[in-house]
């Protein structure tokens, strides 16, 4: 998988998530960093490192984000022993991710 594909996948996962279970941790974490709660908008201005890169922004060196719990979906091909048919199965694995607020980022400079 290329860097661009990783970044796009991260952005897609961030934007399409439906759970709000990490919102309290996100709000509390960024408020503790001095960012006003009303300026924290998950899935609008809070994303992972790779999602920010996909949006054309770079997390500034030395910035620390907020860790959140998530489930990462993986896919594998399996063969049905009865029919011999090959299928794709999905399964989730508990995962942690680090998210950053837009104020911790800057635009990526074009070369």
**Percentage of residues in the chain having pLDDT higher than 90:** 56
CA distance 33 to 31: 5
CA angle 72, 99, 58 (to 5 degrees): 115
**CA atoms of 59 and 61, how far apart (whole Å):** 6
57 SS3 class? strand
* Residue ranges making up the domain that contains 88: 3-107
User: Model confidence over 13-49: pLDDT tens digits?
Assistant: 666 665 678 899 999 999 999 999 999 999 899 999 9
Number of domains composing the chain: 1
Nearest to residue 100, comparing CAs of 37, 50, 54? 50
Predicted pLDDT at 16? 64
pTM recorded for the entire structure: 0.74
């Amino acid at each position: 998988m290329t860097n661009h594909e990783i970044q796009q996948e991260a952005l897609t996962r961030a934007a399409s998530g439906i759970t709000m279970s990490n919102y309290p941790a996100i709000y509390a974490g960024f408020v503790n960093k001095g960012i006003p709660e009303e300026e924290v908008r998950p899935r609008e201005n809070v994303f992972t490192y790779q999602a920010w890169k996909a949006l054309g922004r770079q997390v500034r060196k030395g910035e620390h984000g907020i860790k959140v719990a998530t489930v990462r979906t993986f896919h594998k091909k399996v063969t049905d022993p009865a029919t011999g048919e090959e299928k794709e199965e999905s399964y989730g694995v508990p995962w942690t991710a680090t998210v950053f607020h837009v104020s911790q980022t800057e635009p990526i400079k074009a070369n």
